[in-house]
């Protein structure tokens, strides 16, 4: 039987163009994907969470982490990763890249035999490869109907 995992990284606090949020933009998209696919959610969270809650310090922090090519340790494990044949990887675009904890995740699990799809939220530079998905963060945050429509179109396509 086909089983789907949706692993994602997402932040609350102050985010670009949406103010102070209590649910991350990418988290919202991840939940919509879970609803559409019946998949299981796994949030990629770091053990030592020192990410600032304000936007400007956060972008500086993330820039440094990227420059250092850091691999922050992440919390917990996906139980029975071998059971999943489809894996969605979700993240906010950070400096035109995936946040470093997503690399920690990807290096931890061997996904080579699985179908892997990526999705991101962003605020202007959402460039993704064919079969992947990008959505403006503020649409995820503020326009549930449009977010659901876009996710549905994508899922139906793949």
Binding site for ligand FMN (CB under 6 A): 10-11, 15-16, 24-27, 58-59, 62, 92-96, 121-125, 137
Between 54 and 83, CB nearer to ligand FMN: 54
Minimum CB–partner distance for residue 20 and ligand FMN (Å): 11
The 86-92 sheet, strands edge to edge: 40-43, 4-8, 86-92, 115-122, 133-136
Minimum CB–partner distance for residue 16 and ligand FMN (Å): 4
Minimum CB–partner distance for residue 85 and ligand FMN (Å): 26
Per the CB < 8 A criterion, the answer to whether 29 and 11 are in contact is: no
Between 96 and 130, CB nearer to ligand FMN: 96
Residue nearest to ligand FMN (CB): 137
Between 41 and 59, CB nearer to ligand FMN: 59
Total number of residues shown for the chain: 158
Neighbours of 12 (CB within 10 A): 14
Between 20 and 110, CB nearer to ligand FMN: 20
């Amino acid at each position: 039987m086909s089983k789907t995992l949706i692993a994602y990284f997402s932040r609350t606090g102050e985010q670009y163009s949406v103010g102070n949020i209590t649910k991350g933009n990418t988290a919202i998209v991840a939940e919509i994907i879970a609803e559409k696919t019946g998949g299981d959610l796994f949030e990629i969270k770091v053990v030592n969470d020192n990410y600032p809650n304000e936007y400007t310090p956060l972008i500086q922090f993330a820039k440094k982490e990227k420059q250092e090519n850091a691999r922050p340790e992440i919390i917990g494990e996906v139980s029975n990763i071998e059971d999943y044949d489809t894996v969605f990887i979700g993240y906010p675009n950070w400096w035109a890249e995936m946040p470093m904890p997503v690399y920690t995740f990807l290096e931890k699990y061997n996904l080579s035999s699985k179908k892997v799809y990526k999705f991101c939220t962003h605020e202007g530079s959402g460039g993704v490869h064919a079969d992947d998905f990008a959505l403006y963060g503020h649409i995820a945050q503020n326009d549930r109907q449009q977010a659901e429509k876009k996710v549905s179109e994508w899922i139906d396509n793949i």
